[in-house]
């Protein structure tokens, strides 16, 4: 399926929005995938994979019984896998949360399916969420500095857990932007936080996601921030490129910014995954015939 001549990826795709009423019957369809494929083609993105949220599947309740998961876990994970494998031409991935203390249970869930890759996310610190109004960590009594520290420590642990192939939106904690009244970005050089995660990332060999989703949030910046990405690259970390689209219109969105950032930092290759094996492919720009970006 993959030709090495032209390669941009979008591996962090959701075929449906996050709303509870977005059912598989409505969104896990070949016609919906065609909409994503068409949008990707317009952006010159050839390598597509889907990574639905693990907590939308009942099997996730064997791992964690957070109230949000209990509210959203309705679907059959194996039906999702069968749909992707048998009916469409997408790589099969999943977005799985890092839940400290139950790594073995998550490993069982993930290991029982033949995913091409697993996108690992830190959305929660304990029972509190970073990027949701419900279960809000920002009103849990902790300072922004404490939340940032806890987030990056968890991120490094997520990498080290070995559960995941790609580390999703690696500085998600900035999602609300720098000026949000209750959720501000701490002042000063943020590398003091990135340093809490970098050893785990470097030593685990996990790929770091460059996600344009941050451009669509109040943060208005790609995940990870350039300084964090630079630290990852200096540590020899490989890059996976994604949009985290929940709608066809967002597939490959902001890639001109991402490619500019990657080019400026000397990134020439992206990760490609198949059955949880990774290889690197040269980046080429849409409309060119194999010429790597300069
Ligand atoms: Zn996520
Ligand atoms: Zn996602």
* Residues, CB-to-ion distance under 5 Å, ligand 2: 95, 244
The answer to whether the CB of 155 falls within 8 A of the CB of 200 is yes
For ligand 1, the distance from its centroid to the CA atom of residue 243, given in whole angstroms, is 11
Residue 287 banded pLDDT, cuts 50, 70, 90: low
* pLDDT mean over 91-118: 98
Residues with C-beta atoms within 5 A of ion ligand 1: 121
CA of 162 to the centre of ligand 2 (A): 19
Tell me the pLDDT tens digit for each residue of 187-243: 999 999 999 999 999 999 999 999 999 999 999 999 999 999 999 999 999 999 999
């Amino acid at each position: 399926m993959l030709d090495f001549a032209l390669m941009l990826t979008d591996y962090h795709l959701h075929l449906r929005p996050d709303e509870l009423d977005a059912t598989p019957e409505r969104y896990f369809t070949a016609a919906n995938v065609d909409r994503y494929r068409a949008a990707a083609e317009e952006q010159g993105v050839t390598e597509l994979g889907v990574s639905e949220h693990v907590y939308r599947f009942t099997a996730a309740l064997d791992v964690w019984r957070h109230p949000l998961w209990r509210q959203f876990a309705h679907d059959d994970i194996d039906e999702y896998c069968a749909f992707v494998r048998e009916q469409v031409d997408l790589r099969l991935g999943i977005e799985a949360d890092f839940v400290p203390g139950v790594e073995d249970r998550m490993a069982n869930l993930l290991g029982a399916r033949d995913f091409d890759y697993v996108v690992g996310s830190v959305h929660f610190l304990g029972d509190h969420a970073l990027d949701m109004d419900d279960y809000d960590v920002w009103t849990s009594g902790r300072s922004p500095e404490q939340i940032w520290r806890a987030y990056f420590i968890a991120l490094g642990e997520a990498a080290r857990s070995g559960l995941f192939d790609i580390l999703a939106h690696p500085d998600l904690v900035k999602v609300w932007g720098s000026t949000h009244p209750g959720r501000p970005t701490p002042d000063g050089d943020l590398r003091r936080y990135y340093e809490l995660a970098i050893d785990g990332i470097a030593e685990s060999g996990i790929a770091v996601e460059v996600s344009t989703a941050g451009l669509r949030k109040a943060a208005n910046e790609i995940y990870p921030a350039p300084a964090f990405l630079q630290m990852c690259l200096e540590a020899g970390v490989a890059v996976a490129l994604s949009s985290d689209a929940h709608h066809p219109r967002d597939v490959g969105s902001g890639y001109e910014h991402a490619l500019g950032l990657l080019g400026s930092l000397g990134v020439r290759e992206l990760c490609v995954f198949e059955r949880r094996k990774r290889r690197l492919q040269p980046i080429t720009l849409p409309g060119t015939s194999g010429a790597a970006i300069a």
